[in-house]
Each structure stands twice: as structure tokens, then as C-alpha cells.
Structure 1
């Protein structure tokens, strides 16, 4: 259960952790699906791929057709330094973008000891590229339908390791009819809730 261990306070969550949490989201919301963390990497290399996602089983992957789900959550790992995410709302054809990092904030990652704030311009360039790829992919899958882009208004983090939890909470709130409040002050509480959810298979909000 190393994936669950990495959800604890002070840790930068891994791809395994995101997969486990994505299973919880997909189980809780039948009209939502969470992509594998490697989807964005694969999309950069081969834009015409079929999206793979984790649903109902941590090990089973299903091809996703956008018309099958209302919400398609896309975790994005930027160079193993930072998590941000996007949610494709197939009903409104809107891509919601979630970024928890303030561009001007200087912080040090536990994993590499690099200044995340110093890479703000590069992250912004990556974000623009990712948004463009996602929109191109979605429009191609839905026969050229136009998609709009919208800032999902993520709460901001002030530490250097909670971006993954912020991303998961943003996914949860977009898929849920009853959004929960969260922020840096209570992010450790949500870490423990995600740990418990991955153990018992259900989120307590």
C-alpha cells in the first residue's frame, strides 16, 4: 500500500496514489472517469491515441469515449515536480483548468530540491501546450465540436508538496453536486481522508 503511504502529510503523491484516488472518484460518481496519470505523456507523443482510464478496478483499464461520461478528469504531472489537472465537461464542452500554484511563489520541492517558483514561466508554457493538446484531442473525438477553456479557480497552496491533493479535491468538487471547501489550512485533514478512502474504498466528506 505504498500508494496510500504517499498520501500522508509532507509527501509528494505519486502516480500510484493518483490511480488509487481516481478509483474512489470514479466509484463515487458514475458519470465521471479519471484518466491514468500517463495519459498526458502519451498524448504529447501520439495525439491520436484512445484515452485510457481507471474505473472500478485499480488494474483494469477501459477505453474512454467522451460521450460515455459527463466528466473526464485528467491528472497532469509536470516533470515529476508539480501536479495540476483538467476536467473535460462533455455536456457543456468546457475544459476546466486547475492550477494550485501561485506563479510568483518561490518554493522548494522535497523530491528534487528545485525551486518550483523559478520554473513558473516554463510551467505556464507547459500549461498552454497541455490545454491546446487536450482541446485538439477532445474536438477530434467529438467530430470537431468546439470546446471552451475556463479557469476552474483552484484554491492556492503555500507549501511545496500538496499540489496533488489540491488536484484531487478539485476533481471531486467538479464532479460532485455538493462542493466541499478546502485550502492549505485543512489540506492535511483531506490527506488523511484520502488515505482512509483508499483503504476502505469510499470517501467520507
Structure 2
């Protein structure tokens, strides 16, 4: 196992994936990760020279026999196999983007077809035959690469298709009966439990048409959004009240995100209880660098927009060792737009705010209307009862 192996970045990524499949914590046994790497079927999709591939497999075989008790993290395992001498460096934005793209591909439940081993040149008899054999081998490799790229293109097209919003689909008779039973449950009966909170019968009754949604329903549903979309983070309904109070107070909410880095998320969703009489939504889009306000009554939300931008700046300095927010002046504040769905009464605001968040988590602009609200109320309770979001 002497000398460094020069392998493509994609091969290093595959080695890291092999380590992850055997991971039981922050560290994993070397010989288990090496065994997984030897059995990994995707080596043949990478354009690795035959000599390098054989040396790579030989190193993995050695590691399966001699590293029986040693543990390592992902980067240590890759360095151990390739025997790189340069210092470890943090994962780049490209690495994280590639992992995110692979996660979305996996979500399609797409099973890779079995890939045959790469063709090898026939025995060489003469220099002339050797050249012909190598050319035929290269041609087959090129054809395989073309087929592989065509399949990736099809997957990318599938990812680009608009998401199907299942929450607008009609309920089955069985689902409708469950919703009616939950709305009729005794006030103190527990109809759903999770995320360190309970939804009682008195809360479920608020799903009925004409009722105002309470914090328990809003917060439970926003937790379901977080559970379903791991690139989205949701504040609870008390966040904005604590942040503003009598005046802006970042210290009052500084520890609310001690276990999460908001700047690694795609979006942050914040339900707002305005004066304990109206629900609205605030969205921080980390990719577009904009903060949007959704109010089904049409208010601009200027105070909340400016407070949230100040919060994002303070949060960046707190989490990034005092570093100011990059391109802070370029962040855009977007008040309620004309195409934001509007309510036609004084009690459906919580449903509007909740499903504006639902659509934004899907990457869609909300296009439901007042006519859909009674159905969305029932869908909301059904998701809470099942502890599973119907996207």
C-alpha cells in the first residue's frame, strides 16, 4: 500500500458513501467500510483506468484483513484508501450540493439497473492488435458513458416536473370518518401526540369551518413540514412575539437555533400570530437571498420583514464567529404580493398561512383559494392524525 493513488473526485465520493452505509455514529470500523467498498456496484460507472482500479481494490482487500478494530470517520477512510498526504479540508459547497442532488434522486425511488463489469481488452498478440483492442474498449466505454448520461438526463427532467399537490385530492370515505371522529372527540382526549406536544379534542374541534386555528395545530403541522422536508426549518408560533416583544431582542431567541445552522437550509418558515387575532407567514429564502411576507388580508408586513432581516444578520454573526452576513444589502424584502391567496372571512387566516408554508416547502407558489379552505382544514387534521404530511 505504498504511494498515493490519483483517483477522480467522484471515486473519492463513492468511497465516502461506502463508509456511510456502515456508519453507526461519528466513526465506523475500517474493515467494514472496506468490505462495503469492494462490493459496491457503481465502481463500473466511473471512468477509472484499469491499473488504478486494480490497485484501489487491492488496497481495499488489505484493509478488510488488517484493520479489524480501527475506527475512522469519512475523510479518514478516503485518505486511508488513497493514502493522500495533504491535510484534511472541509467539505465544499459542491460536495454538499452533490449530496443534496443525490438525495433528491433517491427520493424518486429509482433503482439503478445492474451494470455489467467494464469490458476488458482481449489478449494482445501484436502491437497492431493491441491498438485495435484498446480502441474497441474505449468505444464501448464511451457508449456506456453515453447511456449513463442519458439516464441522468431523464432523472433531471423528472426532478424538474412540477410537484403534485396531494393535499388538494379528495378524502376517501374512511379518511373523512376519521376526521369527523377527531373533531367530535372529548375536549381532553389526546387525538395526536408527537414533537413533544399533544393535540387534544378541544384543539381538533378548531378544524371545523368557522373556527380560528390555535397554536397547537399550527406548530404540530409546521413540525410535520420539517419532518418531511429536511432542507426547510420552521420556527414555532411564539418566535416572532419573543423576537420583537416591546422592542427587537435577538438575545431572547439566540439559543432557539443552538442545534441547527439556518444557513445550511433552503428556507426558514415563520408563522406569526399578529396581536393574537390574525395568522400570517414569513419566509426566509436562503438561496434567493430574500425575505417574503404572506398575509391573506393583504398587509405588507414591513415591520416583520425588517425585523427578520436584522435577525438573519445577527444570527450569521453569532453562528459564523462574528462574520457579517455576505451581500447583506442585496437581500430583498418582498411584502405580500397581489397573487397571494386571499381569505373572504375573518377566521380562515391560519389555514391560509399554513398552506402558503406547505406550498413554499414544495417549491411552489400557493395557488389555492377560499373555495379550498374547508377541504384543507380536513387535510390538515388528517396529516396530524397520521403524523405524516400529504404533500
TM range, normalised to the smaller chain? 0.7 to 0.9
- Equivalent-residue separation in structure 2 for 1:52 and 1:5 (angstroms): 30
Equivalent residue in structure 2 for 1:133, among 304, 307, 314:
307
Map of 1:150 onto structure 2: 334
Larger radius of gyration: 2
Map of 1:183 onto structure 2: 369
Map of 1:119 onto structure 2: none
TM-score (norm 2): 0.42
Task: Specify whether residues 8 and 27 from structure 1 end up closer, same or farther in structure 2 by C-alpha distance, changes over 3 A only.
Answer: farther
- Residues 30-55 of structure 1: CA deviation (Å, up to 9, x unaligned): 111210111001111422332637xx
- Residues 138-192 of structure 1: CA deviation (Å, up to 9, x unaligned): 1222323322112454200011111011001111111103556311011000000
* Structure 2 residues without counterparts, runs of 5 or longer: 1-199, 317-323
The answer (yes or no) to whether the contact 1:39–1:51 under 8 Å persists in 2 is no
Structure ranking higher in strand proportion: 1
Task: Specify whether residues 163 and 63 from structure 1 end up closer, same or farther in structure 2 by C-alpha distance, changes over 3 A only.
Answer: farther
TM-score (norm 1): 0.77
Q: Please, what is the CA RMSD of the aligned residues?
A: 2.1
Taking the TM superposition and a 5 Å limit, the aligned residue runs for 1:46-195 are: 46-48=249-251, 49-50=253-254, 52=256, 63-102=259-298, 127-142=301-316, 143-145=324-326, 146=328, 147-151=331-335, 153=337, 154-177=340-363, 181-195=367-381
Task: Specify whether residues 189 and 79 from structure 1 end up closer, same or farther in structure 2 by C-alpha distance, changes over 3 A only.
Answer: same
- Equivalent-residue separation in structure 1 for 2:295 and 2:366 (angstroms): 17
Map of 1:109 onto structure 2: none
| 1:133 match: secondary structure | helix
The answer (yes or no) to whether the contact 1:70–1:90 under 8 Å persists in 2 is yes
The answer (yes or no) to whether the contact 2:237–2:272 under 8 Å persists in 1 is yes
Map of 2:241 onto structure 1: 41
- Residues 6-50 of structure 1: CA deviation (Å, up to 9, x unaligned): 233211111111111111111121111210111001111422332
Structure ranking higher in helix proportion: 2
- Equivalent-residue separation in structure 2 for 1:102 and 1:91 (angstroms): 25
The answer (yes or no) to whether the contact 2:212–2:347 under 8 Å persists in 1 is yes
Task: Specify whether residues 51 and 73 from structure 1 end up closer, same or farther in structure 2 by C-alpha distance, changes over 3 A only.
Answer: farther
- Equivalent-residue separation in structure 1 for 2:388 and 2:204 (angstroms): 14
Q: After the TM superposition, which parts of structure 1 deviate over 6 Å for at least 4 consecutive aligned residues?
A: none
After superposing the two structures, state which structure 1 stretch, 170-179 or 134-143, moved more. 170-179
| 2:250 match: secondary structure | coil
- Equivalent-residue separation in structure 2 for 1:178 and 1:51 (angstroms): 31
Task: Specify whether residues 63 and 4 from structure 1 end up closer, same or farther in structure 2 by C-alpha distance, changes over 3 A only.
Answer: farther
Q: How many residues align?
A: 175
In the alignment, structure 1 residue 4 sits paired with structure 2 residue 196: no
Identify the structure with bigger relative contact order (alpha carbons < 8 Å, sequence gap 6+): 1
The answer (yes or no) to whether the contact 1:47–1:133 under 8 Å persists in 2 is no
- Equivalent-residue separation in structure 1 for 2:285 and 2:208 (angstroms): 30
* Structure 1 residues without counterparts, runs of 5 or longer: 54-61, 104-123
